[in-house]
Amino acid sequence: MRLRLTLIAACCLFTLAGRADEGMWMLGNLNKQTRETMKEMGLQMPASKLYSSKRPSLKDAVVSFGGFCSGVVVSEDGLVFTNHHCGFSSIQQHSTVEHDYLKDGFVAHSRSEELPNPELYVRFLLRQEDVTKRVLDIVKPGMDETERSNAIDSVMLVIGEEVSHKDSTLTGIVDAYYGGNEFWLSVYRDYNDVRLVFAPPSSVGKFGWDTDNWEWPRHTGDFSVFRIYADRHNRPADYSPDNVPYHPEYVAPVSLDGYHEGSFCMTLGYPGSTERYLSSFGIEEMMNNSNQAQIDIRGVKQAIWKREMDSRDSIRIKYASKYDESSNYWKNSIGVNRAVRKLHVLDKKRAMEQELRRWIQQTPGERERLLHLFSDLELNYKNRREENHAQAYFVESFLNGPELIQLSLSILNFDFEGEEKTVIANLKAIIEKYANLDLDIDKEVFTALLKEYRSRVEAQYLPELYQTIDTLYDGNERSYVDSLYARSELTTPRGLKRFLEQDSTYHIYDDPAITLGIDLITKLFEMNIRMQQASGEIIRNERLLNAAVRRMYASRNFYPDANSTMRLSFGTVCGYTPFDGAEYDYYTTTKGILEKVKTHAGDVDFEVQPELLSLLSSGDFGKYAGEKGEMNVCFISNNDITGGNSGSAMFNDKGELLGLAFDGNWEAMSSDILYEPKMQRTIGVDVRYMLFMIEKYGKAGNLIEELKMKTAPR
């Protein structure tokens, strides 16, 4: 039995470095073992061409896109490829019923037609530096978790600010790794003038919509094209008609050769967050609280939104971006909870933890420090269970629910003392929210969520507004909501205008929406206070667990959890077996689009314009066709990615662009917690399909001419 447990632990210890195709590796800390593994798997370019802080390298072609996605620079004039869903908000903001770029797509045939997006930026990584010693030197014996956190946060901020003080065009950010056991400084340069150049119609970029989201086989052309602009000295600059295309340090070449089963494939991007080191207690809490709250509450909200979006084009355009964002996390939560159960993730975690307990017991130094590690974790997760459950539903129901509450909190927290640029940006963001708000829909959502929250939590977690509903409105939630919206000045920009102009007849704190917002924030603060001690102990013990795992397997090549910093993952292009008797191939073609259109006739998620169907049916794919004359649409690899990797470049062994990562697969949705080598796949859109759409459908051959095409002699 002991041998069996040891083998289980060794194989499933978050399967860290158990397979060469697992891991989100830091480029600034790419050790010899990882470089050698990549070379053995087929990497042809030297590691020095992947990352260098002194010379142009592949990392200089990869950007953080807007802080929520990734992208890749593909031309000397700053063209950036990213996902359609990453550019979705920008496309939506430029769309109207008369010019419906979401439905019909967008093409800029000249630089003057490219559309600015003042809220959008791209971020280039310049270098990374280990600052662990400097950060942890400030931690003193006897500090509790709050004191430790405050001290560390202060020195992290100081180190980051030192960068911008030396060069105002740079941003320094210190991030925690390995649960707060290591700290690295990343130095970035941001460019704030980013313009929309090309977007396919949503029938391409979102083909399959919610139905196909997180699914394989996939046939979605999930891409869009933007361009970075700079001043005439190639330096960052806010939008100006005088700006010129940015000239990058490194341009990613584009491959027309495609891939085969077993082809080497690496992904470079900015994955958001993973919890590979999280304890089994933490996973249970995540499933039952935050995930389940998203499933329950967003399901109610989205059903209302979707009904109205399907009935009116004006609402579809207004709500498209926020529905897309909300539903993506909603379905993700469904998939994560399903995969955790189906793949027995908790059993595997508990087996690893049992082996760690044995090691602690048998190692004198560890036993003295960590004897109560797991009992403390279990106790503190239990102590905050009910409060954490209520808080998860509270946040989804109120802070992520009715948009009137979100608007009131944005206005309440408006900072007039910030930099002029920031103040203007925040003001524009609020105005944009008003532009995309329908009050009747929001009132229906608010009413439905009030009922849903009441049904999901104990009475002690109901905010005071429920007493108002029960006593003044006879328990009728809709009557309360109608009254609130009728009495508040913040339902339209008029109230915002009166506030900004400091209208003496309007007192912001007397507005019922503001009063409600304050009551809700106070309630949330009270929840946090009640959980404070347990939460502090959990943070501390999860950090100790993380460090103990690394000591127990000291010879392992560990990678840190994702934290929105640039990461490299690598592996191979390959299919998989989702269940007994089924085999999934490693690529899809346009034939699948035509088949799905017929199979799902009448379903708006699979509607495609007749002219596009005609183009795909012609079979005339030219230089973008694969070896069999078909048009590949998507492909899969066992690269290790997560949210934030959307738009990440997928490169071949020579560092040439094969496509863009845009999704994971349904069967391995628990991958943020545990990597499953037999199941986990990255779904990418084939760059040849992207180019075909740009040239043949968009008639934008001028963009094709900007690219550095690579093809091997045949």
Tens of pLDDT, residue by residue over 502-514, are: 888 888 889 999 9
Output the pLDDT for position 712: 65
- Is the pLDDT at 14 greater than 50, yes or no? no
Tens of pLDDT, residue by residue over 531-555, are: 999 999 999 999 999 999 999 998 8
Tens of pLDDT, residue by residue over 34-49, are: 999 999 999 999 988 9
Give the mean model confidence (pLDDT) for residues 603-622. 95
Tens of pLDDT, residue by residue over 669-678, are: 999 999 998 9
- Is the pLDDT at 409 greater than 70, yes or no? yes
Output the pLDDT for position 416: 73
578/667 Cα distance (integer angstroms): 7
| DSSP letter string, 206-247 | TTTHHHHTT-SS------EEEEEEE-TTS------TT-EE--
Catalytic: which of 280, 326, 410, 646? 646
- Is the pLDDT at 116 greater than 60, yes or no? yes
- Is the pLDDT at 417 greater than 80, yes or no? no
Active site residue 238: no
Q: Which helix (H) or strand (E) holds 685?
A: strand 682-686
Amino acid of residue 347: D
- Is the pLDDT at 699 greater than 50, yes or no? yes
Catalytic: which of 85, 327, 410, 535? 85
Note if the pTM is more than 0.95.
Answer: no
Q: Which helix (H) or strand (E) holds 569?
A: strand 567-572
Active site residue 222: yes
The class (CATH top level) of 20-52+61-121+192-275+561-710 is mainly beta
Output the pLDDT for position 1: 32
Q: Which of 530, 596, 612 is nearest to 204 (CA)?
A: 612
Residue ranges, CATH 2.40.10.120, the chain: 20-52+61-121+192-275+561-710
- Pick the more confident residue, 1 or 547: 547
Active site residue 57: no
CA 197 to chain centre: 23
Tens of pLDDT, residue by residue over 174-220, are: 999 999 999 999 999 999 999 999 999 999 999 999 999 999 999 99
Give the mean model confidence (pLDDT) for residues 301-326. 95
pLDDT confidence tier of residue 419, bands split at 50, 70 and 90: confident
73/32 Cα distance (integer angstroms): 28
With H, G, I as helix, E, B as strand and everything else as coil, classify residue 681. coil
Q: Which residues contact 405 (CB under 8 A, 6 or more apart)?
A: 398, 399, 446, 513, 516, 517, 520
Output the pLDDT for position 414: 82
- Is the pLDDT at 413 greater than 90, yes or no? no
Between 6-10, 142-146, 644-648, 650-654, the lowest mean confidence (pLDDT) is in 6-10
Catalytic: which of 222, 442, 640, 653? 222
Mean pLDDT, rounded, of the chain: 93
Output the pLDDT for position 429: 85
